[in-house]
Chain A
Amino acid sequence: MPAILLDTVFNPWDELQSYQEKHLQAGRYGATATFVGTMRDFNIDDSVSHMTLEHYPAMTQNFLDKLCAQSREKFALDDCLIIHRYGDIKPNEPIVLTVAWSAHRAQAFDACRYLMEELKARAPFWKKEITAGGERWVHDELRSSEK
């Protein structure tokens, strides 16, 4: 149940398959719920050429590790996985992958959503977007349109 922070482009489907083959026991899980967050090329009516994702490395790792452990217990998961980018990111590149494996679909769906909502609400990452008008931090006002 790792949380992995990467500063390079990753393929979420390859990562999911690789982790599942290495760490999940075939026949034990019946549901796999997945979320992939991808960078858009627009936000608040502006074109965004790229962004930089800053984080607080030790706290981010600590928070996401605990979130994985807590979610595994809360939803009786077989396992879960979080991969999150940091650094420079271009449109269409994956930013985040969350995966929840469980015996039945309800726990997997609920856990996958919980992982993402907790991550977005509390994991210490900060997006800075680069637009034609310059750089801007994606603060509270901008977040209201992200859901």
Chain B
Amino acid sequence: MSIEVQFFASLRESLGKQQVTLGYSDGLDVQAVWQQASDGAAMPDNTLCAINMEYVKTETPVNDGDEVAFFPPVTGG
């Protein structure tokens, strides 16, 4: 009963953490996962979110065993 949370790039640096494991509880959404994993930090407006490597919104429900990722706007290419 757990959720793996990952932070990338400038979010990883500003929060000082790359990966967090959270206990799962019913009714969790992406916003709630952020609050727990970031120890209550404010989420930057341009933050992008993914569950199991697919883009999602902050109100998307999170299921037991999911991998949730947070990262800033992408700059590849």
Contact = CB atoms under 8 A, between A and B. Distances in A.
Interface of A: 37, 53-56, 58-59, 62-63, 84, 95-96, 116, 119-128, 137-140, 142-143
Contacts of A58: 53
B63 to A, nearest CB: 17
Contacts of A119: 76-77
Contacts of A137: 9-10, 72, 75
Interface of B: 6, 8-10, 46, 48, 50, 53, 55, 69, 71-77
Nearest to B72: A139
A121 B76 CA distance: 8
A17 B44 CA distance: 44
Contact of A53 (B10, B48, B50, B76): B76
B55 to A, nearest CB: 7
Contact of B55 (A55, A122, A140): A122
B77 A95 contact: yes
Contacts of B48: 124
Contact of A59 (B9, B10, B69, B72): B69
B8 A120 contact: no
A137 B55 CA distance: 21
Nearest to A53: B76
